[in-house]
Amino acid sequence: MNVVVDRVSKSYGRGAEAREVLTETSLTVRSQEFVSIVGPSGCGKSTLLMMMAGLLRPTSGEIRLGDEPVTGPPAGLSVVFQDYSRSLFPWMSVRRNLTTALTASRLGKEEQRSRVEHALESVGLAGKGEMYPWQMSGGMQQRVAIARALVTEPTVMLMDEPFAAVDAQTRADLEDLVLRVRHEYDVTVAFVTHDIDESVYMADRIVVLAANPGRIAADLTVDLPRPRDQVETKLDARFAKLRSEVFRLVMRPDTPATT
Amino acid sequence: MQTDHAAVRGPDRADWGGRAGPVALGVTGVVSLLLLWQLLGSLDVVPRSSLPGPWSVLRALPTILGDQDFLAGAADSAAATAITVVVGSLVAVAVGLVASSFAFLQRPTMVVVNTFRSVPATALIPIGVLIFGLGMEMKVSIALYAVVWPILINTIYGVATTEPMRRDVARSLRWGWWRQQALVTLPSALPSILTGVRVAVGIALVVVISTELLGARYGVGTVLVQYTQASRPEVVYAGVLLLGTAGALLFSALVRAERRLVRWVHHD
């Protein structure tokens, strides 16, 4: 299902105090596509994602999931939040964190159970359902958060800087995990990150935002072959070229393109 | 240098930090207290009629433990305390959750709380007697008045500490109001609520026994007053000793239960 962002602006505050964080932004994430949203801090990339999630209201413009305007958190859309330690429920076991995510789906007990087990298996946590989040490493906790997003079998998954809090090796593992489950669950992904390499490595398309106020600076197609590989993909000349292009757009937005 | 220091500190710390440490400290404390107590009497600092010696108090323990009135009174006081804490917690937590959920209720609630909690509950005992008489209803209603405020304040405070990201998760999972309260807000506030309940247990005991000392018909307080009037100070002290011990045991049981109920707090 397409996610359409149609001339969306977002301001905080009113009157003279108002601060515009995103201005007249339009973008379409097409069905099955993996789109990275990258930009400097303060460019409104998380704000944009939270509006797509139906958790924030645009000041003007409209967001649509398929043909339906998004007015609140829609069915069939999941969010993986930035900080697993603040997004999981520490008073619930891992299994219960996943099962309670299904309450709005109104499924039978048996169907719930098999979805939860399948999601845990997909993220490499089979047999860990009885653990509590606080008994797990950061990487494992973020796997739980990803499993919780997948268990509803969403058509769209929004990820808000999901790997910002984990170490580099765990990060690489989780990146490859997301690329794998994305196909397994046939899910459309919008992926906010501030890591330029990650934005290129993951995506079919990169939307680069500029700051003050937030707006789209570039929309780049990533023509790297899949499946991606942490070593091979990053050796590809096209990776290096895209990476420096995004770097220039994010870090030195006022200099003209050199190629 | 660093290792030398650790070597010197090592055995020293093991002595006080080990399993034997707290027990030894406790025994030392109790023994010193008993000695001081004995000394106050022996040196006639305090007359025997006001402070009987530790031995006579210990010898009075069987008297008080064998007194049917005392045991029935203890059951009555315990029941009043338990009813107060259970009813008070349910009411205060429910009111706290509702008041916290609606922005327009927050300020009025705090005004009410701050006004009423500054009226000491014991000052209401005469009014309680006038309205409810000298029975259980009077004890419980006065004690309820005293315990509702601390639990309510702690509930409101606890709800306010709910992680906003968890609220967003709940909304994004499309949970209704009830489910959000039960699965996010209440567990987030639980550590704070349990602290409030622990404080409330102490307050309830104090207020219940106060009502008994000041007129209620049954309860440990009533029995202690009778022994005071019968000039049996050693029995009064024995009763106070028992109440103190029971209070200390209850308190440590509550702390332990609290830790089990909110295991995640220490790992967050």
Q: Does one domain contain both B158 and B97?
A: yes
How many alpha carbons lie under 13 Å from residue A194 in its C-beta half-sphere? 12
**Residue B184 touches chain A, beta carbons under 8 Å:** yes
Q: Does one domain contain both B91 and B221?
A: yes
Cβ A20 vs Cβ A10: under 8 Å: yes
Domain count, chain B: 2
What is the reported pLDDT for B14? 47
Chain A: give the shortest CA distance to residue B103, in Å.
19
Backbone angles phi, psi at A35, to 5 degrees: -115, 125
What is the reported pLDDT for B107? 86
Q: Which of A152, A157, A95, A123 is nearest to B173 (CA)?
A: A152
pLDDT tens digits, one per residue of B2-37: 444 444 444 444 444 556 678 889 899 989 998 998
What is the reported pLDDT for A44? 93
Average per-residue pLDDT in chain B?
89
What is the reported pLDDT for A191? 98
Question: What CATH number does the domain containing B213 carry?
Answer: 1.10.3720.10
Q: Is the pLDDT of residue B1 over 80?
A: no
What is the reported pLDDT for A55? 97
Chain B: give the shortest CA distance to residue A238, in Å.
37
Note whether residue B90 is domain-resident: yes
163-182 in chain B: CB under 8 A from chain A: 163, 165-166, 168-169, 171-175, 179
Q: Does one domain contain both B122 and B35?
A: no
Chain A: give the shortest CA distance to residue B16, in Å.
30
Chain A: give the shortest CA distance to residue B162, in Å.
10
How many interface pairs between A and B have CB atoms less than 8 angstroms apart?
A: 59
Cβ A59 vs Cβ A9: under 8 Å: yes
What is the reported pLDDT for B8? 42
**Residue B255 touches chain A, beta carbons under 8 Å:** no
**Residue B264 touches chain A, beta carbons under 8 Å:** yes
Report d(CA A214, CA A51) in Å as an integer.
Answer: 14
Identify the three-state secondary structure at position A83: coil
Find the mean pLDDT for residues A25-50. 95
What is the reported pLDDT for B268? 57
Q: Is the pLDDT of residue A69 over 70?
A: yes
Report d(CA A103, CA A115) in Å as an integer.
Answer: 12
Note whether residue B54 is domain-resident: no
Please tell me which of the candidates B172, B174, B183 has its beta carbon nearest to residue A89. B183
pLDDT tens digits, one per residue of B223-256: 999 999 999 999 999 999 999 999 999 999 999 9
Determine the distance from the C-alpha atom of residue B81 to the mean position of all C-alpha atoms in its chain, rounded to a whole number: 10
Please tell me which of the candidates A81, A101, A132 has its beta carbon nearest to residue B165. A81
DSSP letter string over B201-231? Answer: HHHHHHHHHHHHHTT-SSSHHHHHHHHHHTT
Report d(CA A132, CA A35) in Å as an integer.
Answer: 32
What is the reported pLDDT for B267? 72
Please tell me which of the candidates A79, A103, A132 has its beta carbon nearest to residue B172. A79
Residue in chain B lying closest to A151 (CA): B173
Chain B: give the shortest CA distance to residue A85, in Å.
8
pLDDT tens digits, one per residue of B57-114: 999 999 999 999 999 999 999 999 999 999 999 999 999 999 998 888 888 888 998 8
Q: Using pLDDT thresholds of 50, 70 and 90, give the confidence band for residue A66.
A: very high
pLDDT tens digits, one per residue of A215-243: 999 999 999 999 999 999 999 999 999 99
What is the reported pLDDT for B69? 94
Please tell me which of the candidates B166, B172, B267 has its beta carbon nearest to residue A89. B166
Report d(CA B139, CA B52) in Å as an integer.
Answer: 31
Q: List chain B residues with CB under 8 Å of A55.
A: 168, 171-172
The runs of H, that is alpha helices, within chain A are 45-52, 84-87, 94-100, 109-122, 138-150, 168-184, 196-202, 232-235, 237-251
Residue in chain A lying closest to B190 (CA): A91
Q: Is the pLDDT of residue A169 over 70?
A: yes
Q: Does one domain contain both B70 and B40?
A: no
Note whether residue B100 is domain-resident: yes
Note whether residue B216 is domain-resident: yes
Q: List chain A residues with CB under 8 Å of B183.
A: 89, 92, 100
Q: Does one domain contain both B112 and B209?
A: yes
pLDDT tens digits, one per residue of B161-209: 999 999 999 999 999 999 999 999 999 999 999 999 999 999 999 999 9
CB contact under 8 A, B268 and A134: yes
What is the reported pLDDT for B4? 41
The number of beta carbons lying within 10 Å of the beta carbon of residue B255 is: 11
Query: Position of tokens 């690329």?
Result: A179
Q: Does one domain contain both B34 and B83?
A: no
What is the reported pLDDT for B101? 87
Q: Does one domain contain both B96 and B6?
A: no
Q: Does one domain contain both B71 and B29?
A: no
Determine the distance from the C-alpha atom of residue A109 to the mean position of all C-alpha atoms in its chain, rounded to a whole number: 29
Identify the three-state secondary structure at position A119: helix
pLDDT tens digits, one per residue of A88-115: 999 999 999 999 999 999 899 999 999 9
What is the reported pLDDT for B202? 94
What is the reported pLDDT for B5? 43
Note whether residue B214 is domain-resident: yes
CB contact under 8 A, B175 and A81: no
Determine the distance from the C-alpha atom of residue A198 to the mean position of all C-alpha atoms in its chain, rounded to a whole number: 12
Percent of chain B with pLDDT over 90: 70
Q: Does one domain contain both B94 and B22?
A: no
Find the mean pLDDT for residues A41-63. 95
Identify the three-state secondary structure at position A25: strand
Greater confidence (B46 vs A255) lies with B46
Q: In what order do the strands lie in the sheet with A156-160?
A: A77-80, A156-160, A188-193, A34-38, A205-210, A215-221
Determine the distance from the C-alpha atom of residue B5 to the mean position of all C-alpha atoms in its chain, rounded to a whole number: 43
CB contact under 8 A, A90 and B264: yes
Q: Does one domain contain both B134 and B99?
A: yes
Q: What is the pTM of this model?
A: 0.87
If phi > 0 it is left, if psi is from -120 to 50 it is alpha, else beta; for residue A151 that is: alpha
ipTM: 0.94
What is the reported pLDDT for A258? 56
Integer angstrom CA distances of residue A256 from A49, A100, A215, A248: 28, 50, 18, 9
Q: Does one domain contain both B114 and B155?
A: yes
Q: List chain A residues with CB under 8 Å of B190.
A: 91
Please tell me which of the candidates B165, B175, B262 has its beta carbon nearest to residue A104. B175
Q: Does one domain contain both B156 and B183?
A: yes
106-165 in chain B: CB under 8 A from chain A: 163, 165
Chosen for mutation from A52, A89, A136 (greatest number of chain B CBs closer than 10 Å) is A89
Note whether residue B173 is domain-resident: yes
What is the reported pLDDT for B187? 97
- Domain with B245, as residue range(s), is 59-267
